[in-house]
Amino acid sequence: MNSFYYLYLPLLSLPLLLILFRKVVLKNKIKQEWLVLINIVLTYLLIIAGTMAVEYYYEMKLTGFDLNGDGAFTGAELTTEQKAAQNEVERMSARTLAPVTGVIFAFFYSALFYCVLIFCDAIKKKREENE
């Protein structure tokens, strides 16, 4: 089974990129709540896009075994590698549920992001009070 760890990098860097965008481009003119809503939407879209990329990868891998291009696997096309690729395509439960789990994950991931923003603001206010 192939690993798709490179799909996690945009997801993990999204909050940092949003904070930088807010500070550099928007000059802190947008509220944190809007930043969190943007994070929810972008996180969900990244999850769906990643799921679609994985799905496309497995479909293309399976299509590569169809030597005559008729959409069916017969004769020499039936190999153990083809069977493994077909099993990967057929095991779609995680990819089928991605829209539902994507919403749940995006919400909780963004809630964690919001808590970090609140914590950073509290530290910033504490420093300003001490100066």
Task: Return all residues near 64 (Cβ < 8 A) that are at least 6 apart.
Answer: 85
Higher pLDDT, 41 or 55: 41
Its sign, for the CA torsion 36, 21, 48, 115, is negative
pLDDT at 121 over 70: yes
Mean pLDDT along residues 26-41: 87
Q: What is the pLDDT of residues 60-112, one digit of tens each?
A: 777 777 766 666 666 767 777 777 777 777 776 667 888 898 899 999 999 99
pLDDT at 42 over 90: yes
String of DSSP letters for 105-124 = HHHHHHHHHHHHHHHHHHHH
Higher pLDDT, 86 or 23: 23
pLDDT at 1 over 80: no
| Relative orientation angle of helices 8-20 and 98-130, to the nearest 10 degrees | 40
